[in-house]
Amino acid sequence: MPIRPVSKNLLRQFADSLKEPEFWAYASWLDVATRHRRTRLGFLWFLAPSAMFLLVLGNVYSHLMRHPAAQYLPYLGVGYVVWRFMLQIVNDSVSVFTTHKAFIMDGHTRLTDFVLRSFSKAGYQLVFGMIVVFGVMLWSPEMSVIRMLTMLVTLPLLVINLAWISVCLALVGARYRESHEVMGTVMVVGFLITPVLWTVDRFPPDTLRGVLVRVNPAFHLIDIVRAPVLGAMPEMASIVYAVVMAALGWPLAAWLYGRYARYVPIWV
């Protein structure tokens, strides 16, 4: 492979990567397809984490919080699957350039390929998780499966925000190796303060705790996806938050990429 300089244009790099999905999409699918190839359950292993989480924790927490299981399990299911998608992308992004050091040193310097590879891995897991959520929606008499079609609009907005976050984290992770440990700790704490296991209606927006909860960007990114699926409108603050994040985040990511992407082969 001929060595080429790192491009400074982030959007052009993403466009070129999307035109050539062999490295980030097909290769990731091969990883997924071969991971449990010789096991008896095969692809069912990809359904197991989400299914066990809902069946065990869902029933326990619905009892502890005194929510009807028919209402709580879809709430927990969508929140958990979206959170897991975000978690995988954040964790992979921080170390994605160092993980693919051999490719970068070999001259593969279109760095957006590696970022998209993190998205494709998490995306396949998201699909399997949504299969479990779909089953919960069918089981719950209070839910409408048709509402899941709203994710055709809300998931792209989530991905748009995660994309610029991923680029920024990947650059920071390449420069500072301890970033992976820091983000791991942040995401553990983030899971506890994000309304995944608990419902946000316990903290009204006009209270101090409600304000602190809504400072968390993960809450808004989950809310814009989960609320329509459950037949409710996302909080207006969540819609504004997600749009403003995208409007401010992409210029920041483009500037950081243009300024520092050329140093990645040195850093890794």
Q: How far apart are CA 83 and CA 78, in angstroms?
A: 8
Yes or no: say if 227 and 164 are a contact pair by the CB < 8 Å rule: no
Mean pLDDT of the chain: 87
Q: Which two tokens stand for residue 72?
A: 């709580």
* pLDDT reported for residue 3: 47
Q: How far apart are CA 264 and CA 96, in angstroms?
A: 11
Q: What pTM did the predictor assign?
A: 0.90
Please count the CA atoms within 13 angstroms of the CA of 31 that sit on its side-chain side: 15
Give one DSSP letter per residue of 141-185, joined into a string. Answer: TT--GGGGGGHHHHHHHHHHHHHHHHHHHHHHHHH-TTHHHHHHH
Model confidence at 1, in pLDDT bands (50, 70, 90)? very low
Asked if residue 23 has pLDDT above 60, the reply is yes
Report the alpha-carbon distance of residue 21 to residue 104 in Å, rounded. Answer: 17
pLDDT at 185 over 70: yes
Torsion sign across C-alpha atoms 140, 213, 85, 43: negative
- Judged against a pLDDT cut of 70, whether residue 4 lies above it is answered with no
Cα gap 170→148, rounded to integer Å: 31
Structure tokens at 259: 């300024």
Q: What is the pLDDT of residue 7?
A: 60
> How far is CA 221 from its chain centroid?
9
Give the DSSP per-residue string, 53-72: IIIIIIHHHHHHTT--HHHH
Band (42; pLDDT cuts 50, 70, 90): low
**d(C-alpha 99, C-alpha 96), whole Å:** 5
Q: Can you give the pLDDT at residue 6?
A: 58
Mean pLDDT of 194-200: 89
